[in-house]
Every structure is written in structure tokens, then in C-alpha cells.
Structure 1
Amino acid sequence: MIEDHPQRYALVNELHARPFPSLTVPCQAVYLAVKEPIEAANRDRERDLAHLRALLARHGAAHPAPGATHHSAEIGRHVLKWESHTEFVTYSAFSAGLCERPFDPRGSEVFPTDWLGVAPGKRIAAVLIRVEPLPADMSEVVTKLEDWFVPESLAASWVLDEAAIIAGDFQIDPAGLMRFTVFARPGTGARRVGRIVQRLCEIETYRAMSMLGLGRARDLTGRLNALDPQLSSVVAALPDDHRAAEATLHELLELSAELESLATRHSFRFGATGAYEAIVNQRIDVLRETRFMGRQTFGEFMRRRYDPAMRTVKSAEHRLEQMAERAERAGELLSTRVDVERSAQNQKLLESMDRRADLALRLQHTVEGLSVVAISYYAVSLATYALLPVAEALHWPKSALTAVLVPVTFGAVWLMVRRIRRAMH
């Protein structure tokens, strides 16, 4: 029998690890997303689990397994759902029934204030969702929306083939909560209601997470505004022959290094922003919105208020990439110029070395000529002393002997030096 891959069951179980909640109408959902103010790679996930266990311990609920990334439990009259994501953790608390006062902040007391105060991170999203039956008279819905939300930013629409109406104004109330409401048509299934509530929570969370890139983009734009004139100045100075190419290259390398550093520091956040933006748009698309009473839909709200922020992030990211490419191209051109100048210098150096070698050769020939004379002089002197007794016996004067020895000795020395030169070359 064939063996299963060690991770086969674990991978299949991952598909079913985060089911949608099953919610009966009427009900209420309190949602919280907590993010540490550091990059995801440095998160201490054990602190998140310890914080979850502290909440569960207050209600005597079962604790999650070590290293868990999701957990569900009952805490009092609420059903708690906890999930750990790449950069943040989320807490969802669902309870049957509604508070007498719409969007009563006491509904969020399922998360105690002292427990929130020691959370390993900061609150990035907090949502209170009210789910109630859809009235037969649509004017009641309109009245409630006008009472509960800011008209200027209110978004409302039918979703999932008019199974429900969703509404929200994306405003944070005095209790620090963002309010949404769902009017579910009678007969709408509990799991469908749960999917709608889950989508609303995800839209707000990923919207908030994606907009973290906006602050980074604004800071980056300010720095790029300062670097752009410097880079333009360096590029404009490339054809200037009066400016030292190596000094220009050094300045360009400093700019390139800073641009590369900026790209490294912002690449994760900009990449995450793009991914979160795609999730926001996907979550809105799956709701299949249709217009309700002439109100703007969630998709229209995002196109007007959210998309410009995302375009700003993309613009800053694209500008950084363009400036880095400009610096790289300028560096290549400048390196080519430096190489050409060095080649010209090397050519001049070689020509100078050739001239010096020629002078050295001429000097060598001169020295060789003088050496022949000097050697011949000493050779004639020695030969004269050696042959003088013979010359006296033959009654030759010393001058005659010297006159005979000079051409013979000079010729012999010259031939010897020539043979030595030929042997060396």
C-alpha cells in the first residue's frame, strides 16, 4: 500500500481550519485586530498565544495547542474565534441577541479593558456589527441608517442576490469602534449571515493594514523629493569634461546606495500593501453588491476614498524604482566614461614607457661603445706590458708595438661585445 506524504493531512486540514461563523439573526459581533509595531519577521507569536490564554483563563475555556494559528472557544455567552495572521492577530466574539441601545459600547466589554491594556501590540481595527432582521418596510431601514451613521460617508447596498443589506460609514465612534449593520432577509441561512459578517470584518482589517503603506509612501516621497534634484544634477554633469569623473562617480554611488537602502526598507510594506489591497477588492467583489435606495455601495466608497491612497503608495513605489534605475543607468555611463579616460591614460603611459625604453636603448648603445673603448684601452696596456720584452728583443720601439696592438685589440673587443649582444637577444 502506498504511503501518504507526511504533510498530506495537515495541508488538507488547513483548508478547513478557518470556517465561517454560523450566526442566527438577531446577533452581534465584536471584532478586534491587534498588530505589533514591528515587521512581521520579528513578531513574538508566543506572546500572542499567552495573551489569548489569559483571556480564556478568565472564563475557564480550553486553551489552544502550542504553536496554534487559530482557536475557537466559548467565553460566557460569546463564541470567541481567534486567528493569527502574518502581521496581526484577530479576535471575533459573536453573541445571540442585541443590546437594547443600538451599538452600545458595553457590547465590546467581552474584551476587558485591563486585558486590552497588556496586549502585545496596538489596535489596528475594532468593529462592532449589529445583525437584525430585514423589516418589511424599507423606510424603517432608511430611518435607522440616518440615525446610526454619518450620511456623508454612508455606504449601503444589497449583497448576495439581495439576501441582506449591509451598511457602514467607516467612521470611528467615541468608543473607538467602527460600526456596521446587517439587515438579513428572513430565511437567510446562518452560514450566509456568518460569511457576510466575516467579510465586513476582513474588509475593514485589510483596508487598515493596506493603508499603513500610505504613511510610508508620504515619508518616502519627501526623501525622494530631496534626492531627485541631486540625481538630476549628477546626471546633467556627466558630459562635463572639466569635472572629475571619479568624483562624480563617488557622488553617484552614494545616491545609489541610499536609493537601494530606501527600497530595502520599504519593499516589505509596499508589497504587503498591494496584497492587502487585492484582498479588500476581492472581499467586496464576492459580496455581489447591488444599489440600495440610491446609496453608494461599498465598492463605490472604496473607489472614491480608498483607491487614491493606494495609487499614492503605488506612485511612490514606482518613483523609487525609476530613480534607482536612473541612478543605475547613470552609473553605467559614468563607469564607461571612467574606463575610457583610464584607457587613454594607460595609452599615454605606454607611449611614455616606449619613449623611455628607446632612450634607454640608445643610452645602452652609447655605453657599449664607450665600454669597447675602455676595455680596448686596458687590453692594449696589458698586451703592451706582456709583449714589450719580445719587442725589445726585436729592437721595436714601444710606440710601434702599441700602434700594432691598438687595431687588433679594438677589433677583438668589438667582436666579443657583438657576440655577447647577439647571444642575449
Structure 2
Amino acid sequence: MSVRLELLDIHPLRDDLYNELHSRPFQVLPTPARVTQMAVLTTPEQRQQQFEHLQELHRLLGQPVPEQEVGCFEETFGSLRVRREMHMEFASYTFTNLAAGDDTPFSETGISLLPEGWLEQLTGTVVAAFHLDIRPASADTEGDLAYVRQHFEGMRLVGSRPQEGAARVWGTFQLHSDGFGRFMVMNQHMSDSQLGRLTQRLMEIETYRLMSLLALPVAREITPALNDMDQKLAVITQALADNQDVDEHQLLAQLTNIASRIEAFRAHSTFRFSATRAYHRLVLTRLEELREDELSGHLTITEFMTRRLTPAVKTCEAVSDRLEDLSRRIDRASEMMRTRVELAIQNQNQQLLSSMDRRSKIQLMMQHTVENFSVVAISYYLIGLLKVALDTIHDAGIEFDKSLVLGVAIPVTLLLVFLGVRAIHHRFIRLAKRQ
């Protein structure tokens, strides 16, 4: 029974997901061949410039110009094969000279067939650049070793037999007089596709090795500052542990300054350290895929990387972990400082409230005193008014004893004024309680 797939709900990225696993195929390399690999750090602005530069290569070689950029571009121009792969932060260029003969190694390279002056116009920052000389192996291993030594400028060799002795690989992992690194691959009995996969792994090992080491200068740069901040933090923490009489606000300002510097270092280095860990894992994976055997007592590539690259990566990881540890310790110390400041503020507030309570009691006592005085004052004025009224009535011809009436009125007035003031006082207290 046939199924009409177009009637189903197809994910819009389905085709892209299928094509992703085939977007970077291994090369197929003949023996002999000359290969040059370059890894160039690229900004988003430079990506377009590099694509236009690639278009210019097609024009110089008289070939149709590509209109759209792809993640992995590969084109063969006669005996020259050009491959360009875009990665997260760099672009890799692989130039293969398919017309190379059995002449002197490294006299011809992968870039020998490029138009003059084209490569010099490439934008970006070159991190990795090395040549691979691929040639058939002879039966005389010792003779091959003597032959190899002549073309690595006396540098110490690293060599192995990958893929269970199917080839012999030599290199130095150093720069030579032409500014390029060098590898020599002697093919014992590998097919062209197997040789392409082996060469790809070697190029990725060298490229990812150098990319992983980009974090090492950063780690070395910030280590002295970390030592200084670690010492300052230890002094502050010890002062807090000893419960010394310190200026909390000053210490909190110091902690804030250290924390801001730590965050600046983290912002500057987090991506680089994370990238180093990722590149290092890729290197280890490619080394496992080589399946190396020792060759003539020399260090294998895996041994060399384990001895030289791994400590550098561990240094970067240690600095990264130290940054995170310092950040956590500063957070804890800052929290302790803030707690001390808050406790001090609460103690001050408690003292202030106690002082306000004492003052309010004093004010209340003073208020009662003033109220008593106000009773006398109000009564005095009322008696005065009453005396004027009594004088007026007496002068009007009504006979009575003014002294007796005034004497009786004085205590009555005092009592009425006192009760009135008390009534007003209690009324305000009830209003305050309701609110």
C-alpha cells in the first residue's frame, strides 16, 4: 500500500535535518597529493567579505560565480580543489593540489596553484596554517625516517601508525621557516576515501588543538588578579569570622568592587573557556578515531597531546572553576556583610524606638502637666469674666453678695473646666484607637 506523505503534517526543518549529516562529507584524496589547511577567525562582518573573496577566485579562474553562501563549499578547478567550511567562530579553508608529483616534499603545497595575490587578500585572523604532504610509503621504514627528517628542519618529530599501520604520519606541531606547520602522510595501503578520512582527522586535530589553546593567554592574564582578589577576600572573611569591630560599609564596598571585577573577567572569558572545553573534547574524539600504534620509538600524536595539550586545557578549566568559586564565595561573604549591616540597622532602630518611647512618656507627662496648668489658666479667665458679669448685674441694682457668689463660683468653675479638658482628652484617645 502506497502512502501519500504530502498529506501528513511534515516538520518544516525535516529536509534540513536530513541534509545536516551530509553537509560536510569527507574528501577523497589520491596519492600523492599536497594539502594546505587554514583556520581563520571570522567576525559576522567578515563572513560576507570572505564569500565575496571566494567569488573573486571563481572570476580569476574563469569559473561560474556562486550566488549563495553555504556552510560547506567545495569546488574543483582542474588540479586545484578548494573547500571552505564555516564554523561558529572561524572558517576553515582546505586547498588540495591534485597534480603534485614525487618531487621534494613541501616544495609544492596546496596553495601553489592559487592565483597570485589572491590568498593575501583573505580577511580574518589566521590561527592555524599547515601543509600536508601525502605520498606513498616505501618498504624501508628506517629509510623513510631518514628521508622524513630532512624535511622538518631538524625539529623533533612526532609519529605514529594510524589505522593499524595502514599509513605512517609524521609531524612536529611547530611552525617552520615558511610560517606554516607541516605533516607528512605516507600511505601504506589506504584507499582514496580512507586517506581522505585520515587526513581530515589530522587537520581537525591540529585546528582544534590551536583553537583550544586560545584560552591559555586569557587564563595567564587574569590569574595574578585572581590571586590578589583571593587574598583580599580571605582577609575580609577572616575579619568576619573573628567578629572584629570593622566598618561594614567599607568592607561591603570592597566586596562589591571585587564582585564587579570577577563579573568583568567572567564576561570576558566564559565563552573562551567553554569553547576550549568543547575543542578539547573534539581533539580527544579525533585521536581515538586514529587508532594509533607507536612508530620507531617516537611519541604518538595521542601521547604528545596528552602530555602537552591536556595540561594547558586543565589550566584553563582550573581558572574557569576558580572564577566561579570566587564568585560564589563573594556572594556568601556579601550576604554575611549584608546580614551584619541589617542587624546593626535593626539594633539602631530598636534603640531609636526605645528612645522615642521614653520621649513619648516624658511628653505625655508634660502634656498632663500642661493640661493641669491649662485648667487653672482657663478657670482664671472664666472667673475674670464671671466677676465682670457680677459687677454688671450688681451695678444694675440687683443686690447680692458678690464675694460670696464669686467664692462659690471659683471651685465650681475649676471642676467644670477640669471635667471638660478630661472629656476632650479621652475623646482624642478614642479617635486614635479607632484609627
Same fold? TM cut 0.5: yes
Paired residue for 1:223? 225
Mean alpha-carbon deviation: is it higher for 346-355 or for 156-165? 156-165
Distance 1:205 1:350, change over 3 A: same
The answer for the alignment partner of 2:41 in structure 1 is: 35
Identify the match of residue 334 of structure 1 among 333, 337, 343: 337
The equivalences for 1:59-70 within 5 A come to 59-70=61-72
Q: 2:157·2:170 contact (CA, 8 Å) conserved in 1? A: yes
Q: Tell me, what secondary structure is at the counterpart of 2:138?
A: coil
CA–CA separation in structure 1 for the residues paired with 2:211 and 2:75:
26
Distance 1:135 1:105, change over 3 A: closer
Match of 2:349 in 1: 346
Structure 1: distance between partners of 2:418 and 2:110 = 119
What is residue 84 of structure 1 aligned with on the other side? 86
TM-superposed deviation, 1:152: 6.3
Determine if the alignment matches structure 1 residue 384 to structure 2 residue 387. Answer: yes
Q: SS where residue 170 of structure 1 aligns? A: coil
Check conservation: 1:59, 1:76, Cα contact below 8 A: no
Change (3 A) 1:110 1:215: farther
Call closer, same or farther: CA 1:151–1:322 in 2, change over 3 Å.
Answer: farther
CA distance in 2, matches of 1:191, 1:278: 25
Q: Partners in 2 of 1:20 and 1:105 — Cα distance?
A: 23
Separation of aligned partners in 2, 1:107 and 1:66? 25
| 3-state secondary structure, aligned to 1:44 | helix
1:112, distance to aligned residue in structure 2 (A): 5.0
Percent identity, aligned pairs only, is: 35
Query: For 1:337 and 1:100, how far apart are their aligned partners in 2?
Result: 78
Alignment of 1:230-309 (within 5 A): 230-238=232-240, 239=242, 241-309=244-312
Q: Does 1:419 align with 2:423?
A: yes
Asked whether the 8 Å contact 1:22–1:193 carries over to 2, the reply is yes
Deviation at 1:422, TM superposition (A): 1.7
C-alpha distance in 1 between matches for 2:9 and 2:340? 64
| 2:118 equivalent to 1:115 | yes
Shift in CA distance, 65/279, structure 1 to aligned 2, threshold 3 Å:
farther
Following superposition, the deviation at residue 396 of structure 1 comes to 4.1
TM-score by length of 2: 0.91
Residue type of the partner of 1:316? V
Task: Give the corresponding residue for 2:146.
Answer: 143
- What SS does structure 2 have at the residue aligned with 1:148? coil
| Aligned residue in 1 for 2:432 | none
**Is 2:22 aligned against 1:22?**
no
Change (3 A) 1:150 1:48: same
- Residues 151-180 of structure 1: per-residue CA shift (max 9 Å, x gap): 763221111232212121112111112111
1:376 partner amino acid: S
Specify whether residues 115 and 309 from structure 1 end up closer, same or farther in structure 2 by C-alpha distance, changes over 3 A only.
same
- Where 1:20 maps in the other structure, the secondary structure is coil
- 2:314 alignment partner, SS class: helix
One-letter identity of the residue aligned with 2:70? A
> For residue 367 of structure 1, what is the aligned residue in structure 2?
370
Q: CA deviation at 1:340?
A: 0.6
Q: CA deviation at 1:43?
A: 4.7
One-letter identity of the residue aligned with 1:300: E
**Which of 3, 8, 15 lines up with 2:9 in the alignment?**
3
Moved more, 189-198 or 177-186: 177-186
Instruction: After TM superposition, list the pairs within 5 Å mapping 1:126-137 onto structure 2.
Output: 126-137=129-140
Please report how far the alpha carbon of residue 195 of structure 1 lies from its aligned counterpart in structure 2 after TM superposition: 0.4
Where does residue 404 of structure 1 map in the other structure? 408
Distance in 1 separating the partners of 2:116 and 2:336: 61
Query: Relative to structure 1, is the Cα distance of residues 247 and 113 closer, same or farther in structure 2, using a 3 angstrom cutoff?
Result: farther
Question: Aligned partners of 1:279 and 1:26: how far apart in 2?
Answer: 28
**Residue 335 of structure 1 aligns to which amino acid in structure 2?**
R
Q: Which shows bigger deviation, 344-353 or 95-104?
A: 95-104
State the distance in 1 between where 2:260 and 2:356 align.
Answer: 39
**Secondary structure at 2:165's aligned position in 1?**
coil
Q: Compare 131-140 and 374-383 and name the one that shifted more.
A: 131-140
Q: Is the 8 A contact 2:46 2:124 kept in 1?
A: no
Instruction: State the 1:413 CA deviation.
Output: 0.9
Quickly say closer, same or farther: Cα 1:129–1:185, change in 2 above 3 A: same
Whether the 8 Å CA contact 1:159–1:166 is kept in 2: the answer is: yes
Stretches of structure 1 lacking an aligned partner (at least 5 in a row)? none
Contact preservation (8 Å) 1:384, 1:405: no
For residues 90 and 62 of structure 1, the distance between their equivalents in structure 2, rounded to whole angstroms, comes to 22
Q: TM-score, normalised by structure 1?
A: 0.93
CA contact (8 A) 1:391 1:401 kept: no
For 1:287 and 1:309, how far apart are their aligned partners in 2? 22
Instruction: Give yes or no for contact 2:216–2:315 (8 Å, CA) kept in 1.
Output: yes
Of 408-417 and 101-110, the range deviating more from structure 2:
101-110
Shift of 1:268: 0.7
Between stretches 337-346 and 284-293, larger displacement belongs to 284-293
Partner residue of 1:197?
199
Q: Is the 8 A contact 2:32 2:134 kept in 1?
A: yes
2:159 counterpart (153, 156, 159): 156
* SS of match in other structure, 1:16: coil
The Cα offsets for residues 311-346 of structure 1, whole Å up to 9 and x where unpaired, read as 211121122122112211110110110011011011
State which drifts further: 258-267 or 122-131. Answer: 122-131
**Cα separation, partners in 2 of 1:228 and 1:15, compared to 1, 3 Å:** same
Listed as ranges, the gaps of 5+ residues in structure 2 are 1-6, 430-435
Give the Cα–Cα distance (whole angstroms) in 2 for the partners of residues 65 and 362 of structure 1.
95
